[in-house]
Amino acid sequence: MSTLSTHVLDTALGRPARGIRVTLMRSDEVLGSAVTDDDGRVREFPPMRGGIEPGEYRLRFAVADYFVETKRDAFYSDIVIAFRVADDSHYHVPLLLSPFGYSTYRGS
């Protein structure tokens, strides 16, 4: 089975974005949820400690509270990244975040 992690970097502040709730979903089913740590990372999604199987998934980043906490106006309240797991490798899905834009890619 594949493993999955994510990392949120606040590009406007130049630091990791901690305290963002990230939810892993497959179709409409919630598979797990976690909050980014002090380094802006979610290393695993409980209860998915055994990994994930091939298929289509979504990560939902609840960023509204983060922007309120950092006292900034922002355009986005939730950011959803849809991606496909095709094999048994590690999937790292980073989010580069700012109040009015974001970017993502498949990391390592």
Render pLDDT for 57-93 as a digit per residue (tens, 0 to 9): 999 999 999 999 999 999 999 999 999 999 989 999 9
Residue 49 confidence class, pLDDT cut points 50, 70, 90: low
In total, how many domains does the chain have? 1
- CA–CA dist 62, 38 (Å, integer): 16
Of 3 and 40, more confident:
40
| pLDDT confidence of residue 45 | 82
Structural domain boundaries enclosing 85: 3-104
Query: Quick check: pTM over 0.75?
Result: yes
CATH number, domain at 94? 2.60.40.180
| pLDDT confidence of residue 44 | 86
- CA–CA dist 48, 6 (Å, integer): 14
- The Cα-based distances of 51 to 60, 67, 90 in angstroms read 18, 31, 9
